[in-house]
Amino acid sequence: MHNIQLAATQIVQQVLVDGRNLNQVLDESLRRKSVWAPAQRAALQDLSYGTLRFYGQLNAILDLLLHKHMTDNRISYLLLVALYQLQYSRAAQHAVVDHAVRSADILNPKIRGLVNAILRNFLRNQADLLAQAALKPEGRYSHPQWWIDELRAQYGEDVAGGILDAGNGHPPMTLRVNHRRGTTADYLAQLSEQGIAARLIAPDALQLDRAVSVDKLPGFFEGLVSVQDAGAQYAARLLDVHNGMRVLDACAAPGGKAAHILELADVELVALDKDEKRLLRVAENLQRLGLSGTLLTGDAANPAGWWDGKPFERILADVPCSATGVVRRHPDIKWLRRKKDIASFAAQQSEILQSLWALLAQGGLLLYATCSIFKQENQDVIDGFLAKTPEARQVSLPDGQLLPTDQHDGFFYALLQKTA
C-alpha cells in the first residue's frame, strides 16, 4: 500500500503545486506503473481523486493537527492522502498508519515519528477534528472560499450548499443509446440480461445503478451506446435538428454532442475544434458509432481561417468555460481555478458567440452551452450579446441552468434565433 500512497502523494503535489491536470498526471503515473494489477491502479485513482475532492476538509484537519508549519511539503501531501484513507476508505486503519510511516521513511526518515503521531492523534480525536474543520466554509464544503462566496451571492446560502455538496459526490454513470442501432427499451433489456441494473431518466439516457467498465457494456464497441452525462444530452435535442440541415458543432471534442446530433437526424455536420489531437477523438467516436461528418481544425473565434462561406441552419456553440458544473468528475478544477479566470472565460465566450453568429442562416438557431454554474459565463454573456445584436432573440427553455443533481452535472443552455 505504501507504494500507492507515495504515487498518490506525488500526483496530488503535482496538481496543487505545479497546477497540472489531474487526469494527465494520473495517466502518466499509471503508464510508469504498467506492471501494477488492476486493483492497485484503481486504488491509485481513488486516492488521487478522493484527496483532491476533499482537500479543503483534509487540509483544515491537518492544520488543526500540526502545531507548526511543515517544512517538507512532501510529508504534508502524504498526510493528506493518509487522512483521506482514514476518513473515507475501507482500508484497515492500522495498515494505513503503518504504510504512511513507511512512506515517510522513504521521503524523510527524520519525520516518520511525527507522521505516526499525527495520524494516531487524528484517530483518537476524529469526531472533534471533523467538527472543528467544518466551522470554516472551506473545511465544510471542500471548495475555495471565493467559489463558495460566489455561489452564495448568486443562489442564496441553502441552494449554494446543495450545489457544493453535490460537487463533492461521485458522479453517476449515464449511457446514451444510439437510436440508429436500437431503442432505449431494447438496450435496457440487454443490460438486464447482463445483470447490470439501470433506469431510463431521459429520452436517450439510461443511468446505471453502479458504474462498470465500458467493456462490460453490451455492444459498446459496436456502437450501440455511448457514455455521456444526461445533462450533456440536452444539447442535441434542444438544437432541434432535422434531416438535410447544415449543422456546425463548434469546439466539438471529444465528440459526444456531435455524435448525438448525427444519431437524431441525417444532417450535414461540420465538427470543429482548434486542437487537432482532440479532434482525433471525435473521429474515433464517430467511427465506433458508424457515423460520419466533416472534421475541421480551426478556431471558433476566427471563422475566416476555416469557414467556406455557406451558412449553417443550426450551430452548437459548446464554448470553453470554467467547468465548474463538472467538478465531481474533475476535482482538481476546484483548486486550479482562480476567481479572475471567470471573467477571462466570459470574454472568450463573448468573442466566440459573436464570431459564430455571422455564420448562422436567417431563421436559424444557435445553442450556447457551457458546463459552468456561474452566471457571469452564462446568462450574463447572453444578455451582453442580445444588447448589441438586435436580430437575435432568446428562445425560452424549461431548463436553461441545470444544477448538479444525482441525475446530471451542471450545465447552462441558451437557445438563440436569428430573426429578420
Nearest in space to 216 (alpha carbons), one of 266, 208, 392: 208
371 a catalytic residue? yes
The three grid cell numbers given for residue 179, joined into one nine-digit string? 437510436
Collapsed DSSP state (helix, strand, coil) of residue 41: helix
SS3 at position 123: helix
Question: What is the C-alpha separation between 215 and 276, in angstroms, rounded?
Answer: 27
Q: For residues 115 and 101, is the Cβ–Cβ distance under 8 A?
A: yes
User: Given 247, 371, 373, 416, which residue is catalytic?
Assistant: 371
CA atoms in the 13 A half-sphere facing the CB of 218: 16
Give the span between the Cα atoms of 136 and 46, in whole angstroms.
26
C-alpha of 393 from chain center: 30
Is 20 strand, coil or helix? coil
Angle, helices 126-133/73-88, rounded to nearest 10 degrees: 110
Asked if the bond preceding 144 is cis, omega within 30° of 0, the reply is no
List the alpha helices (DSSP H) in 204-250.
Answer: 234-238
Give the residue numbers marked as catalytic: 371
